[in-house]
Amino acid sequence: MTAQQRLASIGIACVVITAVIGLLAVGAFIGGADTTTQSSSPTLSAQNAVLEETEIVADTTQLRANLHEDGDAAWVLTYRQELDSDSDREAFEELKADIEAEPDAYLDPFEERMQQLVETAESTTDREMSMDNFSVEAERVQQPQGELGLVTFRFDWSGFAAETDGQIEAGDAIDQLILQDDEQLIITWPDTFELDSVTPNPSVQDNTQVRWEGPREFDAGQPRVTVTETEAAPPDDDETTDDTDDVTDEDAFGSWLLAGVALFVLIAGALAYGWYRRTDGETDTSAEGPARVEQPETDEPQHSETDEQSASTELLSSEEQVLQVVEEHGGRVKQQVVTEELDWSAARTSQVVGNLRDDGQIETFRLGRENVLTVPEQSLAESPEPDEEN
């Protein structure tokens, strides 16, 4: 297959793959067919055929919508391929080189198809929308379970969700989405928001995201996610000025009185210290205790073990810090312990743990009312019992 043929076939793949993001795009082909008819739709079967004929061999596909406070969303579509052999790695390197040399050959058909989708979503939701900032990249990453090849498309979707008075409702723009085997849909929101409702029940849920895994066909009115802002806004400057104007003369007098007392105590302490120094120098040194051993002076700064540990931790990414804590506890630890040892907020810990879980670097399960983190290589039967303090 020549480079031009490869670019043309991959462009077709991008066009067809993105149709999966919403039944809005697929509905034009499958009409009012029932669930059984949709699952064997020629359009969806053609999608798999195109993938097999191109350099993009996706073992898993992840669709992620990161909601912003104003209802816009940063979308990330990631196609993952397991690089188990030399031939897999060589083929992916060729694809990576093609994407880096001619990214527009991949982005142009992708952007054209997505613009058609947003026009349909605008008409359906009666909400103004737009897409921009398209990009594509390919990279190889090393994970605990093996090496992966990632092809990632990114774009910003303005007006993706409806925002009203601090509440975000998302999902109507991708109503009746169809997820194929080994596909995931993830919707995240800022940690200053909390989840109000979600339908249907997600496969995974935490403080800042929900995830559905395929195969799944969402019904009409699905998927839907509603979150509400919880963090109070800072006071206006006008309110601060009004509070200052309420200070009375009596309050001002009290402040001056306290300042005078503090100054008197400071002067008295200085005089007492000077008197002590003079009288202490005139006393007989023989009555003093053993001489103090002076430590040799050195120009080298003294570093404690805590300082060295803190410095080494600062050189690690958030994900690496979490993995380090899990390894220090024998490969199994409660999520609350990670939050306490790293001095993080619960929301930040949940976000980082969610990213590690998506990448397959850790696994989680419930133990009572708490989450427990484990490394994938260590099954629950083989893993050590958590410490009492965990």
Distance (Å) of CA 291 to CA 26, 225, 235, 287: 89, 73, 59, 11
Grouped pLDDT means (10 residues each) for the chain, 390 residues: 44 43 35 35 32 58 94 93 90 91 89 88 92 93 88 94 94 92 93 94 94 93 94 52 49 65 73 65 46 49 51 73 90 90 87 87 82 73 48
pLDDT of residue 235: 52
pLDDT of residue 3: 43
pLDDT of residue 101: 93
The label of the residue with tokens 């810990």 reads 349
Could you tell me whether strands 183-188 and 60-67 are parallel, antiparallel, or unpaired per DSSP bridges? parallel
Class of domain 316-390: mainly alpha
pLDDT of residue 313: 61
pLDDT of residue 255: 66
170 forms beta bridges with: 225
Sorted by sequence, the CB contacts under 8 Å of residue 62 that are 6+ apart come out as 76, 77, 78, 80, 183, 184, 186, 358
pLDDT of residue 270: 72
pLDDT of residue 106: 87
pLDDT of residue 248: 53
DSSP 202: -
Residue 81 in contact with residue 148, Cβ under 8 Å? Answer: yes
CA separation for the pair 95, 9 (Å, rounded): 12
pLDDT of residue 262: 73
Sorted by sequence, the CB contacts under 8 Å of residue 224 that are 6+ apart come out as 169, 170, 171, 172, 197, 198, 199
CATH 1.10.10.10 segments of the chain: 316-390
pLDDT of residue 20: 41
Residue 83 in contact with residue 90, Cβ under 8 Å? Answer: no
CA separation for the pair 206, 351 (Å, rounded): 8
CA separation for the pair 323, 336 (Å, rounded): 14
